[in-house]
């Protein structure tokens, strides 16, 4: 179990596969560059917490799940189990979860791992967050590398069980390019959920 979480009542948590740009997004959201990013999957092994004590608020970047080159499968499963336990333990404090996908590869990865005995991690995580009652925004990152933008976003909605077109899910699906600072759709979606939770005071972070 990850034991490093500051004792804060309100939290926004970033989840997603390794190498989808969670740490880059975390840097963009917080304006701080202390978060490791790298071309190698699995750079983040422990949660990164960015703590705003006066607001009783923390943003957490959880480790990536799924395939990581050079990382033993047993260890990958342990990380995934820890992420699940963390989300279960703090579900009532998490105002919004941001599930980060790689816009370029998400559909292919989901389809590759879909079968009678297999649920893709991303789809499983999305539904798990729904089951926990955590409002979830799907941040579809790296959109600068995507040519067929609307089609790709519709496909992602379809895989998550959201009826296309994607435009009707703007509080759920947010196309972004974190490394270029293009995250306005995400901020708008997160604010929608913060407002519903009565936390407009946190808008200044998004």
Using DSSP, state whether 21 is helix, strand or coil.
coil
Which CATH architecture best describes the domain 10-196? 3-Layer(aba) Sandwich (3.40)
Instruction: State the Cα–Cα distance between residues 141 and 5, nearest whole angstrom.
Output: 26
pLDDT average per 10 residues of sequence, the chain (206 residues): 82 93 90 56 69 90 77 81 94 97 94 82 94 98 96 97 96 97 97 96 93
H-type alpha helices, the chain: 22-30, 73-90, 106-112, 121-131, 149-160, 184-196
Q: What pTM did the predictor assign?
A: 0.92
pLDDT at site 46? 79
Q: Give the start-to-end residue ranges of the domains of the chain.
A: 10-196
Strand partners, 137: 98
Using DSSP, state whether 55 is helix, strand or coil.
helix
Q: Is the peptide bond before 165 cis (omega within 30 degrees of 0)?
A: yes
Give the count of alpha carbons within 13 A of 57, CB side only. Answer: 17
Instruction: State the Cα–Cα distance between residues 113 and 50, nearest whole angstrom.
Output: 33
pLDDT at site 118? 76
Q: What phi and psi values does residue 73 have, to the nearest 5 degrees? A: -60, -35
């Amino acid at each position: 179990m990850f034991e490093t979480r500051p004792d804060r009542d309100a939290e926004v948590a970033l989840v997603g596969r390794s190498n989808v740009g969670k740490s880059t997004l975390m840097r963009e959201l917080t304006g701080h560059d202390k978060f490791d990013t790298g071309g190698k999957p699995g750079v983040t092994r422990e949660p990164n917490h960015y703590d705003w004590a006066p607001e009783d608020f923390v943003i957490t970047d959880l480790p990536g799940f799924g395939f990581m080159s050079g990382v033993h499968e047993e260890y990958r499963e342990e990380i995934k189990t820890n992420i699940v336990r963390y989300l279960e333990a703090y579900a009532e404090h998490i105002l919004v979860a941001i599930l980060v996908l790689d816009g370029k590869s998400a559909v292919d990865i989901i389809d590759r791992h879909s079968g009678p005995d297999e649920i893709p991690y991303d789809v499983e995580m999305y539904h798990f967050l729904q089951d926990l009652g955590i409002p979830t925004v799907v941040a579809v990152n790296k959109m600068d590398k995507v040519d067929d933008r609307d089609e790709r976003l519709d496909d992602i909605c379809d895989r998550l069980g959201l009826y296309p077109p994607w435009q009707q899910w703007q509080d759920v699906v947010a196309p972004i390019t974190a490394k270029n600072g293009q995250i306005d759709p995400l901020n708008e979606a997160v604010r929608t959920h913060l407002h519903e939770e009565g936390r407009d005071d946190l808008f200044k972070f998004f």
